A and B are shown apart, each in its own frame.
Chain A
């Protein structure tokens, strides 16, 4: 039977299991929008195409399924670039569909013509310019395969208007992705043996658990591995949730804002086991002094990551879970009490505080807000953060026990991510409690998506950590630019009134005692509530490894008041 290209597009999306798409219409994608009405698809109308890509991203991160965003040519497509780059850096499977001017107009600077496949070349895993109806099916099917296989990532399909309009025969089977020959990566038994030998002989090993633990669904296997060998685990920002925060072997987050005992353990280690992470500069600090005594075993699905930033002794390329399962039976059990005790000793040292014991003295600290949010939600919410100080405090004080419950832009650090990504997460997992934790700055970047929430009648709760500053930048200015606060003080709208203007509920919180009651009432409220927490303005995220400094050269919490020993 003949179908139009537009029909083929939706037919393929439905068959790929797509139920929800995030998008914004326009001339070049109109035929696709028209055809959409005949398919079982929920379309979420966004307020800016960047939002559509972040929603698809949040949808994918929350569920593991491919997220789909759709937009028109030209400005619609270029508005997607930030979201695509965000997904690329964090290996998130999304498929973006853009309309393109008619194939005869291509190259003529036609109205709303942009070479979007050219623009997105470096920030997509792959992209397609489709100019004929019969090429739509194969492109869509291959795009889904590429987005979700191997190291996941974004794929863009740019479809000309005439390709959407013209008709051809469509056969699902024939549109199956064509095989691309690749050398099979058979893990060298010698590498395996060397890895095992390093693991079994290490006295002071540390596992570095990255996003790959979650993407590979390897949480249980990594735990089993760590428990069997009694190896402590440090997590990257995107690894959070991969291992329960409450697990006794889980040390917490490493890197620029990792706790001192985590970074010190890495620096003192004699073996690093990098599981699905990529030694980003935010986790290594100065590479020259990074883990100087450690041998390194790196397991990653992307061979191009092996040895990229840190030379390794053994690189094992493949799916993390599968790889660990084959190592597991040959891993010698336990026997690292001295090392674990040593790290625990560092946790107890006086330079370490626990926020639970920190008096508020009438101030409202962001860290307290996050801590209380964790308590009030039983640590079970999906928290979607923006980028900045609040993001780091969330990572430090919200203790995630489940994979896919912290959704945050790590590699690109995209402000404006939280609100739209939370919408995507909620659409993917409607039964879950979803919270946005955003700064006053980043929230204002994508805040029109509140209208999307209202239109879709979603129940998401939003915590704006309002410190009156672009706080993380202000912190750098405080440390490195003599407190010359260039362009970081920030005026915000009245967020409560703003929420009301969108038909949502809102409340402002200024005192610690109001925090839990406000969170509780937001949780009870059917529908979205915007909570504005007016927190301490010049508060600082500690500890901090200045960019490029040695990982052990942390700026520690300054005053004994904020440095209470955990057991004190």
Chain B
């Protein structure tokens, strides 16, 4: 069992997210993180999932996703070199006398201050989960008032392995009546 990262492209239609979450609920999958957004192609949304499972489980996860008619492609990029990013906004208590320390920490982590008020600072940070967790750890003693995180976004490094293109391998010729596009 380890975290598997999937990049899934789906038709951007009402109810598609519901179909996917219904599948996860029904099959008892535990989703660690899920992000959804637009892609470079109109009408296509991209999702990134992190699921804790083993290799056969990951294969079945993909197979189950492919059973959904609105799913275009599924790629398990766990073992593919990829860039992972998470974005967090953290509102931290910051009385005047402690601000310099916080600003220093923000610099060390290459984060940014995006908003401030007399009592607090809002910090934006992007990076891998570890980096964000690291910043959170050092900010906690000051008092984290609020946090919002996107969850993992992923993109494979090789230009070829664009995961939002149809899945690797030959694509079925759907004009052939023998070939089914849904199982």
Contacts and interface: CB of A to CB of B under 8 A. Distances in A.
B24 to A, nearest CB: 11
B56 A307 contact: yes
Contacts of B167: 181-183
Contacts of B60: 303-304, 306-308
Interface stretch (B79-87, B106-114, B170-178): B170-178
Given A149-B182, A179-B175, A184 B22 contact: no
A354 B19 CA distance: 50
Contact of B182 (A117, A125, A129, A186): A125
A306 B63 CA distance: 10
Interface in A181-214: 181-184, 186
B72 A181 contact: yes
Contact of A183 (B26, B64, B171, B173): B171
A121 interface: yes
A181 B26 contact: no
A155 to B, nearest CB: 9
A150 interface: yes
B171 A181 contact: yes
B181 A117 contact: no
Contacts of B19: 121
Contacts of B181: 149-150, 179-182
Contacts of A304: 60, 63-64, 67, 183
Nearest to A122: B26
A367 interface: no
Contacts of B18: 118, 121
A179 B170 contact: no
A182 B169 CA distance: 9
What is the interface residue range for chain B against chain A?
A: 20 to 34
B182 A180 contact: yes
Contacts of A129: 15
What is the interface residue range for chain A against chain B?
A: 20 to 34
Question: Which of B67, B179, B181 counts the most A-chain CB atoms under 10 A from its CB?
Answer: B181
Interface in B33-87: 56, 59-60, 63-64, 66-69, 72-73
A143 to B, nearest CB: 10
Contact of A150 (B15, B64, B166, B180): B180
B143 interface: no
Contacts of B170: 183-184, 186
Interface string A109-128: 00000000110011001100
B100 interface: no
B183 A303 contact: yes
A126 B174 contact: no
A404 interface: no
B168 interface: yes
B172 A184 contact: yes
A307 B64 CA distance: 13
Interface in A133-157: 142, 146, 149-151
Nearest to B61: A304
Given A122-B22, A306-B60, A308-B60, A183 B172 contact: yes
A182 B178 CA distance: 13
Contacts, number: 88
B25 to A, nearest CB: 8
B172 A150 contact: no
Contacts of B64: 304
B38 to A, nearest CB: 19
Contacts of A311: 56
Contacts of B68: 126
A interface, over-half SS: loop
Question: Which of B66, B72, B171, B180 counts the most A-chain CB atoms under 10 A from its CB?
Answer: B180
Interface string A85-125: 00000000000000000000000000000000110011001
A335 to B, nearest CB: 33
A184 B59 contact: no
A306 B26 CA distance: 18
A182 B59 contact: no
A181 B166 contact: yes
A186 B179 CA distance: 12
A180 B174 contact: yes
A349 interface: no
Interface string B13-28: 0010011001000100
A302 B173 CA distance: 18
Interface string A169-185: 00000000001111110
A243 B60 CA distance: 30
A179 B72 CA distance: 11
Question: Which of A151, A180, A184, A307 counts the most B-chain CB atoms under 10 A from its CB?
Answer: A180
A181 B56 contact: no
B73 A150 contact: no
A484 B172 CA distance: 57
Given A121-B18, A122-B26, A183-B167, A150 B183 contact: yes
Contacts of B179: 182, 184
Contacts of A117: 15
A118 B183 CA distance: 21
A117 B16 CA distance: 12
A125 B181 CA distance: 12
B115 to A, nearest CB: 36
Contact of B169 (A122, A186, A306): A186
A323 to B, nearest CB: 13
B169 to A, nearest CB: 5
B147 to A, nearest CB: 32
Nearest to B23: A122
B174 A181 contact: yes
Contacts of B168: 183
B171 A184 contact: yes
A301 interface: yes
The 10 closest A-B pairs by CB, nearest first: A179-B174, A150-B180, A149-B180, A180-B181, A303-B63, A304-B63, A150-B183, A184-B172, A183-B167, A181-B166
Given A182-B172, A183-B73, A304-B64, 11 more contacts: A117-B15, A122-B22, A149-B180, A179-B174, A180-B72, A180-B181, A183-B169, A186-B169, A186-B170, A304-B60, A304-B183
27 contacts: A121-B18, A121-B22, A125-B67, A126-B68, A149-B180, A150-B181, A151-B183, A179-B181, A180-B69, A180-B72, A180-B181, A180-B182, A181-B72, A181-B73, A181-B166, A181-B181, A183-B170, A184-B170, A184-B172, A303-B59, A303-B60, A303-B63, A303-B66, A304-B67, A306-B60, A307-B56, A307-B59
Interface of B: 15, 18-19, 22, 26, 56, 59-60, 63-64, 66-69, 72-73, 166-175, 179-183
